[in-house]
Amino acid sequence: MPKLSAVLNDAAYQSADESLKTFYVQNTETNDWWLNVDEPAKLDVAGSKSLQNKKDELKRVHDEKKAIADELAAYKALGKEPDDLKAALEANRPEEVTRLVEKYEDEKRQIATSFKEPLEAAQARAAKLEAQVQNALIQSEIAKLRDAYGLNDAANFTLKEYIKVVPREEGSDEFVVKVFENGQEALVAGQPQTPDQLIKGFQEQKKYPWMFNVSDGAGTGNTNRTTNTGLNKQLEGLSPVERLKEARKQGITA
């Protein structure tokens, strides 16, 4: 803080900093300006207070300018310059601002949609391809079982209820063949049942006899063939679905 003189002439007072003039009072007889502080400590307090007041004022102005700058930046994101917004507001047309906000929200929705639609289409294609892969693996497994155990076309429908293809683990894109029964993975002695164990179980229980061929030469794994020749002759010429219905009608149930 500058050193204060006890007395200033009028010229010196007029050229002094405005913040210092408050400490002087004019002598009306001499027109000089006298330091108006009774105690030296008061001068320090007054000077510090004046400086703090200026700091507070500068901070307030800075904060106001920053708030205005932030608001203008937000409006600029709408594609308008500050002058455009000022003109709209001065014209007392708040609908202009509303329209700008609506335009901004609409553009956000369009951007979101432009990403959402291709993503959903890609997900649908992936799900379709996954289903095709699973179906192909099921058909392949059933074909192997038919060849190994001499099974006829009826096996295609019957075994689809048991043979399932699932991911090896959650989130995996690798699939494995599993045997399911009543919606649960089938177990034998606490271990997952294999497709071979499933077919051998059918043979032992004489379950679904209509899907087993009676020819001795069909399939190396067919060790327990059904010899119901009369029924099989009756089913000859029928489609697999009709064959299954007819077999059930004759009283052969699982």
Tens-digit pLDDT profile for residues 195-233 = 999 999 999 998 899 888 865 444 444 444 444 444 555
State the pLDDT at residue 194: 92
Q: Report if residue 58 sits inside a domain.
A: yes
> Structure pTM?
0.41
Kindly state whether residues 143 and 56 are assigned to the same domain: no
Residues spanned by the domain of 180: 123-249
Q: Are 77 and 104 in contact (CB under 8 A)?
A: yes
- Which single residue is written with the structure tokens 């001795």? 216
Q: Report if residue 113 sits inside a domain.
A: no
Q: Report the distance separating Cα 227 and Cα 180, nearest Å.
A: 28
Q: Report the distance separating Cα 173 and Cα 203, nearest Å.
A: 34
On the CB side of 67, how many CA atoms lie within 13 Å of its CA?
6
Q: Are 206 and 226 in contact (CB under 8 A)?
A: yes
What's the chain's length in residues?
A: 254
Q: Report the distance separating Cα 80 and Cα 72, nearest Å.
A: 9
Q: How many domains does the chain have?
A: 2
Kindly state whether residues 127 and 229 are assigned to the same domain: yes
State the pLDDT at residue 242: 66
State the pLDDT at residue 89: 63
Residue ranges in the chain modelled with pLDDT below 50: 1, 41-42, 45-46, 216-230, 252-254
Q: Report if residue 107 sits inside a domain.
A: no
Kindly state whether residues 153 and 236 are assigned to the same domain: yes
Q: Report the distance separating Cα 45 and Cα 25, nearest Å.
A: 18
Q: Report if residue 92 sits inside a domain.
A: no
Kindly state whether residues 133 and 219 are assigned to the same domain: yes
Q: Report if residue 22 sits inside a domain.
A: yes
In this structure, the strands spanning 187-188 and 184-185 are: unpaired
Domain end position, chosen among 74, 99, 132: 74
Kindly state whether residues 138 and 230 are assigned to the same domain: yes
State the pLDDT at residue 196: 93
